[in-house]
Amino acid sequence: MAAPVRLGRKRPLPVCPNPLFVRWLTEWRDEAASRGRRTQFVFQKALRSLRRYPLPLRSGKEAKILLHFGDGLCRMLDQRLKQHRSSGGDHAPGSSGAKSPAQEGPPADVQDSAMPVLVQPKAGGSGSYWPARNSGARAALLLLYREHLHPSGHSFLTKEELLQRCAQETPGVASGSARPWPALRSLLHRNLVLRTHQPARYSLTPEGLELAQKLAESEGLSSLSVGIEPEEPPGEEPEVPRSFSAELGASEGNVQEPQLELRPGEYRVLLCVDVGETKGAGHRSELIRQLQRLHVTHTVRKLHVGDFVWVAQETRPRDPATPGELVLDHIVERKRLDDLCSSIIDGRFREQKFRLKRCGLGRRVYLVEQHGSVHNLSLPENTLLQAVTNTQVIDGFFVKRTADIKESAAYLALLTRGLERLYQGHTLRSRPWGIPGDPESGAGPSPKPLCSLLTFKDFNTGAIKNKAQSVREVFARQLVQVRGVSGEKAAALVDRYSTPASLLAAYDACATPKEQEMLLSTVKCGRLQRNLGPALSRTLAQLYCSSSPLT
């Protein structure tokens, strides 16, 4: 006989045993992501581990039994819990009185500003992301939402317009600054903001519009006040959190540095040699010996792009440990013939040229050094000659061929002395990354040197190979890997279709496979604005539209 069934009321299990800890970790993770900090991954791992734990925790110290919870994170939770209790909150983070994120509504005016607020979005919307109060991401969404609702607005803002609005509240942010934007980068990654055109225009995606509307409602802003704002005096912008201004003008807490100015007699020209040119035995150490023999003033540093650059170094700095340095508008990439062969085979040849053209310096020199017999190389001589010719004619580099390392060192010494004479008597000033220099001396055979220069720190930081990249930049790097797609062609393609998703959407809109194959054939590329062509368009259509393995 079967045992009798015991009927009774079961105590419902909470949706989340530790809603406060989950809420705080989510806030810290989103704040770190908006600032571009790697600690976002630490918080994400801890959050994933906490959500798997079925029992309530009474303190941050108890969370140490979980994976990815260290002493520092547990102390942060205990400190936040203490602040929460002192403000009159629940005494236990897992108590039934604490609302879960799914049950909590928009914040009230009397709520503690230190407490995070989560509103559960609809399925298929912007996910569980809710930007923290006074964060850059929150302010960016509200600014774009205001522009979207404005009757005479364009539904988008340019980078300069966003900076200008923030600069009105925080004068320390210079208009036109081109430093990285961690907040916008995070919104682009979450598909909440769309970047189009060149110069870039930022607008809200449908998911971003939905989230921005919830943000406006949570702050008590109606559609009318957000869009028109009749209460504001004419010409006065609404208040923007200062944290957003700091993020737009600086990267991860560093304020914008004042402009550096070097007058005649206050600087010297110094050759910077990449550390890769000095390591090892043989020809690398021989290069340094030759420079010393020729009495070339030089220093060895880690260069993220190029092998040789020249800097104007301050001779009487305020801090002798960190003198001011401006990078002159010349850069040299040195290749021995055997290294040139290997770089062509493994793809570094095109990638390095692409990065050199984006490094911010206008005078690019490709130094090709003879090494042994051309008959012993892995590629035919005609292939190497064609690659060198393309570098000069198509890419616009100045190509210099030398017989050996002694001649290469002599050429570097000649360039150093020539730059000393060229910049003698000129006042040099720093400029932000991405801002063009003097228009009358930036291009062409002008006798006047470029005097608006990048600082060495900005130059080397902007040229980091493995830095955080946008979807557009990764898409361009992916296109360059296709045979026949040069840097100019990839740039033209990403100007038309900024992401793989937009390109795939355009392919889906085509009625026939033939139309897909000819979709990109009329894209204008390069300075001559030539068509991409049907052959390359067909190759890209096969790459992105074929569901079977490529043959």
Q: Say whether 338 is catalytic.
A: no
CA atoms within 13 A on the CB side of 192: 28
Catalytic site includes residue 277: yes
Strand 363-369, strand 325-336: pairing:
parallel
Q: What are phi and psi of 157, to 5 degrees?
A: -135, 140
Catalytic residue status for 71: no
Q: At what angle do helices 136-149 and 159-169 cross, to 10 degrees?
A: 110
Nearest-angstrom CA–CA distance, 277 and 334:
9
Catalytic residue of the set 307, 329, 333, 458: 307
Q: Tell me the three state secondary structure of residue 498.
A: coil
What are the residues facing 330 on neighbouring strands? 363
What are the residues facing 196 on neighbouring strands? 201
| CB 163, CB 213: distance < 8 Å | no
- Which residue is catalytic, options 62, 247, 274, 329? 274
Q: Is the Cβ–Cβ distance between 498 and 476 less than 8 Å?
A: no
Cβ-based burial of 165 (10 A; exposed 0-12, middle 13-18, buried ≥19):
buried
CA distances to 241, 248, 417, 424 from 421, in Å: 49, 39, 6, 5
Residue with tokens 């090494």: 371
In 151-240, DSSP assigns E strands to 157-158, 193-196, 201-204
**DSSP calls for 68-89:** T--HHHHHHHHHHHHHHHHTT-
CB burial class (10 A; 0-12, 13-18, 19+) of residue 328?
buried
Point out the catalytic residue in the list 27, 62, 147, 277. Answer: 277
Residues recognised as catalytic: 274, 277, 307
